[in-house]
Amino acid sequence: MPLYEIETNAHILITWAEDEAQAKIVVNDNYPNDDVIRLTKRPRNSWVISKAALGLTDQRVDPCLVARDCLSKAEGDKVHAIRLYMNETGVDLDKARKAIESNMVLGW
């Protein structure tokens, strides 16, 4: 069963559902006053929050691992992977582009 990330006007939900319609039903059943703003099928069957991205660790994150993870999440879409990388690391567009493109060459 796919994992969905659902953003409403008041919450962010992570839930398993058969399809998008069922995911919306989960929201309506649990938060009937919320409006769905964004509904995304996750590329993997688990949800991970990076402690480094939240600033909860002193360890440095390997930029190649982050770039490969972003490419995987973006299913190979370079532009989307660049946006994800910028969001994940906080770097500017040029640095994100270089990180993603260099990892695309490596065959991520």
Distance CA 50, CA 45 (A): 16
Higher pLDDT pick, 53 / 43? 43
pLDDT in tens, 8-49: 999 888 899 999 999 999 999 999 999 999 998 887 777 766
What span, in angstroms and rounded, lies between the C-alpha atoms of 70 and 58? 22
pTM over 0.75: no
Could you state, in order of their start, the residue ranges of all structural domains in the chain? 3-41, 63-105
